Structure 1
């Protein structure tokens, strides 16, 4: 049985054969020679990038200076940008960025634990886990990142344990910022007590949210949405699994909460205007542009998330969620492929915007001027938005939203 790699290689070879069958003998030799030379160059480049990445990750595993860890982080980001500009693979960039940031976060935990001992606070009084949320929780990291983390620790430590983890979390957030993880503007970080607690404390918080015991309904609904993408990063995996399991079960058990999330998802605006043309800002700083994140990418991620939760799918990655929703019958193969294509198109443009910001070409990584793109690219984005609109209609019907 052939592997996925062998299948991909055979498919690529078949495309070459389809092309050269229309050429004469000498042209075939010239074309195949050129293809061979280009493949060799690409293979050498891929190996060189992979070797550089391995060396940096090996260095990070034993590095004790936060400044050098920041340098390693920057080098890894630059390497990933170089790779993306060569092969334009969204999935590859997601995987690599998520992997090396997980390793850097794990290294930061170790160093901060050591700092706590050095200042006389001792070792962790209870086992604990660091979990990520947002794009990191979905294993969809890109070139620009911030801190979207929570901490859960074992029960039974009382106020002493709470105090230790408060100090630890505050120090961790500062050290993570030093190595290149920007502080979250929404304060979704373990230094905020909302995103830190023992397992029992987390269970009480979650029950209070789904039972509407907190006054700020909108904020708590948003917190639950964020928690829906929680993923283990480092520490005690059992604690992380227990917390994630509680989140998933409560979201399914309290349908009214999930219904509220679905309603919010279907009401997210899209960059579609009159006659389903692309909508852009009519005036102001971003005239002729639209917010690619808020009016295209985020509605797709959000609506896929809702269906995945409703169907009990444990995966957090958007493309994986789409594939599993197709497998269990929520999507037809064609609809699932359309959504996956939409995700790839929108995310690719988000990454290209980030590259422009990194290179100093523009200030915002959110706003896209579609008229700087080719007609085919503009139409691809419009088709992506139409698929998201269809997805919103599906959820609107499934949840009987009036």
Structure 2
């Protein structure tokens, strides 16, 4: 990263001791990133943007540990890892970002240690989630949060939870499994996350019944391209005339590439890295990998264009792009990308059904 201004801001984030300072720095970083957007390639922009989000979250975790010690609760009783899920796990966060998180910690030695671990990580997670909310990261609507005991477990408990989800192929169980597939270690002991992910893939291989359920989940969002090659716009409400870039372009490709990666036993989480991995494993040809990467970069670019600044100085988006922002050139590119998305979904369907 060559931008001296951003380097200085990242240094300030890493040394900030007050949440008010972090909130102020977040405003500065966001304004700087908005200014840089026209100058950066979309992939580079996302790399730098996610580096900033990671820096804020890591700093809040460090402050949380320090506050726990000051309040007489000591240091973490066992090693642990803080995970990001969703777009954070995939390193695809935009200027706006909510919290999707979890904790995995080393197995306690006995029942007494288990109680200490539960109490410590409960308090730590609450501090982290509440503090991140104060500096501008709202909690996940689905409560996939480290402060939720269902997403804060020891490694053995996580493995039992995964087993249960694989054995009960209900819609919610499959959704949770796909969330875990996107998880990455942001802070702490990487080996714990590796152990969790290794168990995930072992269960997947040994539980073929889950494959059909994952396929159903993966294909539930259709690309916003009609049978005659026209763009499908929102018909009603305040978003009438807009295009649902998030659920009509971005998410369908994220979901399809993720399922192909899971089937190929690839454990990276970024969609572009998954495409590279599938290419390296000869699952995608040179041409397919290049075309899918370019289409996905376009979807990332259009997703950024759906972001609006809110009254509180932060950014948010509903994934809807106003038709007024779409030039003819962009519309033609989007149609081409969506055709690839449709083709990809058909491929995922055929490939997955052949495994059943």
TM-score for the superposition, normalised by structure 2: 0.92
Matched with 2:66 is 114
Is the partner of 1:271 in helix, strand or coil? coil
Cα RMSD (Å) = 2.2
Alpha-carbon distance in structure 2 between the residues aligned to 1:349 and 1:357 = 19
Q: Who is 2:120 aligned against?
A: 164
Change in 2 beyond 3 A, CA 1:334/1:371? farther
Aligned to 1:94: 46
3-state SS in 2 of match to 1:276 = coil
Compared with structure 1, are the counterparts of its residues 81 and 372 closer, same or farther at alpha carbon in structure 2 (3 Å cutoff)? closer
1:19 match: none
Q: How does 1:136-147 map to 2 (within 5 A)?
A: 136-147=88-99
Quote the offset at 1:197 in angstroms.
0.7
1:256 has 2:225 as partner: no
Q: 1:154 aligns with which of 106, 124, 134?
A: 106
Residue 363 to residue 123, structure 1, CA distance change in 2 (3 Å): closer
Question: For residues 358 and 140 of structure 1, what CA distance do their matches in structure 2 show?
Answer: 24
Q: Deviations over 1:72-99 (max 9, x none)?
A: 1221222122111223x22112111222
Separation (CA, whole Å) in 2 of partners of 1:166 and 1:225: 24
CA change 1:335–1:370 in 2 (3 A) is farther
CA distance in 1, matches of 2:321, 2:99: 24
- 1:353 matched to 2:309: no
| Post-superposition offset of 1:364 | 4.5
Q: In 2, distance between residues paired with 1:366 and 1:277?
A: 19
Residue 209 of structure 1 corresponds to which residue in structure 2?
165
CA displacement 1:2-55 (0-9 Å, x = unmatched)? xxxxxxxxxxxxxxxxxxxxxxxxxxxxxxxxxxxxxxxxxxxx95xx111111
Q: Secondary structure at the match of 1:165?
A: helix
Report deviation, 1:397.
Answer: 0.7
Deviations 1:182-237 (A, max 9, x none): 21122111111121111111111011000118xxx111111111110111111122
How does 1:218-237 map onto structure 2 within 5 Å? Answer: 218-237=171-190
**Greater fraction helix:** 1
Offset at 1:259?
2.8
Aligned partner of residue 123 in structure 1, secondary structure: coil
Secondary structure of the residue aligned to 2:93 is coil
> Highest CA radius of gyration, 1 or 2?
1
CA distance change for structure 1 residues 371 and 255 in 2, over 3 Å: closer, same or farther? farther
> Residue 100 of structure 1: SS of its match in structure 2?
helix
Match of 1:43 in 2: none
Superposition deviation, residue 108 in structure 1? 1.1
- Residues 308 and 317 in structure 2, CA contact (< 8 A), matched pair in contact too: no
Q: CA deviation at 1:268?
A: 2.1
Of 74-83 and 377-386, deviating more is: 74-83
Instruction: Specify the SS of the correspondent of 1:233.
Output: strand
Aligned residue pairs total 350
- Does residue 300 (structure 1) correspond to residue 253 (structure 2)? The answer is yes
Runs ≥4 in structure 1, deviation > 4 angstroms? 355-360
Name the CA shift for 1:357/1:252 in 2 (closer, same or farther; >3 Å). Answer: farther
Unpaired stretches in structure 1, ≥5 consecutive residues: 1-45
Question: Could you tell me how far 1:367 is from its partner in structure 2?
Answer: 1.2
Q: Distance in 1 between matches of 2:166 and 2:69?
A: 38
Deviation at 1:245, TM superposition (A): 2.1
Q: Distance in 1 between matches of 2:26 and 2:324?
A: 34
Deviation at 1:105, TM superposition (A): 1.6
Which whole-Å CA distance do the structure 2 matches of 1:86 and 1:355 have between them?
19
SS of 1:144 mapped into structure 2: coil
Q: Deviations over 1:279-333 (max 9, x none)?
A: 1122332221231101111000000000001011121111111122122222222
* Among 77, 96, 104, the residue aligned to 1:125: 77
3-state SS of paired residue (1:342)? helix
- Secondary structure (helix, strand or coil) at the match of 2:103 reads strand
Task: Answer yes or no: is 1:330 the counterpart of 2:280.
Answer: no
User: Is the 8 Å Cα contact of residues 211 and 352 (structure 2) preserved in structure 1?
Assistant: no
Secondary structure of 1:301's counterpart equals helix
User: Take 2:248 and 2:33, find their aligned partners in 1: how far apart are those partners?
Assistant: 26
**Alignment partners' CA distance in 1, 2:61 and 2:329:** 46
Q: Is the 8 A contact 2:95 2:316 kept in 1?
A: no
